[in-house]
Amino acid sequence: MNPSPFFEIEKRKNVAILWLNRPEKRNAMNWPFWRDLPDMVDQINADPQIHCFVIAAKGKSFSTGLDLEEFFQEFKPVVQGELADGREKLYQLILTMQKGINAVYNSKKPSIALVQKHCIGGGLDLVSACDIRYATKDASFSLRESKVAIVADMGSLQRLPHLIGNAHTRELALTGKDISADEALQMGLVTKVTEDFDTLLQAGLTTAEEIAENPTIVIRGVKQVLNHGIGKTIEEGLDYVAVWNASMLDSKDFRSAIGGFMERKRPVFNPETRVD
């Protein structure tokens, strides 16, 4: 796998951990984060033995978001471009930065975000792109961009309404305030809160391993159907899943499931990529 100064990929059986690995800066997102994240997800997508991945962070915090000082120093001419040509360069830079977080969201492999302590700005963009989110009890979340004179542009404003509702999203975005792990649990941003990071990591890996044992073709289908249904009517969603199953239902794993049911045996899915 290609190395990155910001990320580290660790494989555990059929699960990968994508580590944010800039602990000395509380995983503040400098340019290597934005540059390398698409490639990290591509590497995970390309490995048939990885069925699910966890995004976790080394150090005291998940991420304090965009490294504003370093980013402004590196891209000041682009950020402060006066003419249309300069503004177009900033527009293209923003689209480039969006690619990595979009890659997490669009990956056919499910993702689980594990948050300890700070999850600010770009950190919240990243976890909102994941399928499942867990946190430690000392975690705090903030859609902080309004406090640094930025309209959040990495996906939180687009994805959070579907996770926590429009009203909660507006309150977080307009105030830039912090919310606790308990508040995040109550509004549905996270679905599990643990005592500390060790139990958080174990909980995340347990869920990831449970997902990884299921048929990969079905997991891809579930994620695709759920993502496709956002913004659609129930009728459109039902038609889409009907087309999906009409095309994909009769898989090797489906036949294994039927055989297991008939023989009263637990089927083993994904035998060609399973790591025991």
pLDDT band at 222 (very low <50, low <70, confident <90, very high): very high
Q: Is 270 left (phi over 0), alpha (psi -120 to 50) or beta?
A: left
Q: Can you tell me the mean pLDDT for 61-84?
A: 89
pTM, 2 dp: 0.94
The partner residues of 192 in beta bridges, in order of sequence, read 134
37 near 101, Cβ under 8 Å? yes
pLDDT band at 83 (very low <50, low <70, confident <90, very high): confident
d(CA 168, CA 155): 15
Q: Can you tell me the mean pLDDT for 9-35?
A: 97
d(CA 196, CA 244): 40
pLDDT at 266: 82
Higher pLDDT, 245 or 130: 130
123-173 pLDDT, tens digit each: 999 999 999 999 999 999 999 999 999 999 999 999 999 999 999 999 999
pLDDT at 249: 82
Q: What is the CA radius of gyration of the chain?
A: 20
The CB density around residue 94, as the number of other CB atoms within 10 Å, is 12
Q: In the structure encoding, which two tokens stand for residue 178, read together?
A: 């912090």
pLDDT band at 87 (very low <50, low <70, confident <90, very high): confident
189 near 133, Cβ under 8 Å? yes
Q: Can you tell me the mean pLDDT for 185-207?
A: 98
Higher pLDDT, 260 or 106: 106
pLDDT at 257: 79
19 near 10, Cβ under 8 Å? yes
pLDDT at 76: 86
Amino acid letter, residue 241: V
Share of the chain above pLDDT 90, in %: 78
pLDDT at 193: 98
Q: Which residues contact 1 (CB under 8 A, 6 or more apart)?
A: 9, 43
pLDDT band at 4 (very low <50, low <70, confident <90, very high): very high
pLDDT greater than 70 at residue 1: no
pLDDT band at 20 (very low <50, low <70, confident <90, very high): very high
Tokens 């309150």 belong to 171
Q: Can you tell me the mean pLDDT for 40-49?
A: 97
One DSSP character per residue, 110-171 reads -EEEEE-SEEETHHHHHHHTSSEEEEETT-EEE-GGGGGT----SSHHHHHHHHH-HHHHHH
Classify 8 as helix, strand or coil. Answer: strand
One DSSP character per residue, 180-232 reads EHHHHHHHTS-SEEESSHHHHHHHHHHHHHHHHTS-HHHHHHHHHHHHHHTTS
Taking CA atoms, 73 is separated from 53, 68, 128, in Å, by 33, 8, 28
pLDDT greater than 80 at residue 61: yes
Q: Can you tell me the mean pLDDT for 93-106?
A: 96
List domains and CATH numbers for the chain: 7-212 (3.90.226.10), 215-273 (1.10.12.10)
Q: Is 47 left (phi over 0), alpha (psi -120 to 50) or beta?
A: beta
pLDDT greater than 90 at residue 121: yes
Classify 24 as helix, strand or coil. Answer: helix
What mean pLDDT, rounded, does the chain reach? 94
Share of the chain above pLDDT 70, in %: 100
The partner residues of 141 in beta bridges, in order of sequence, read 119, 179
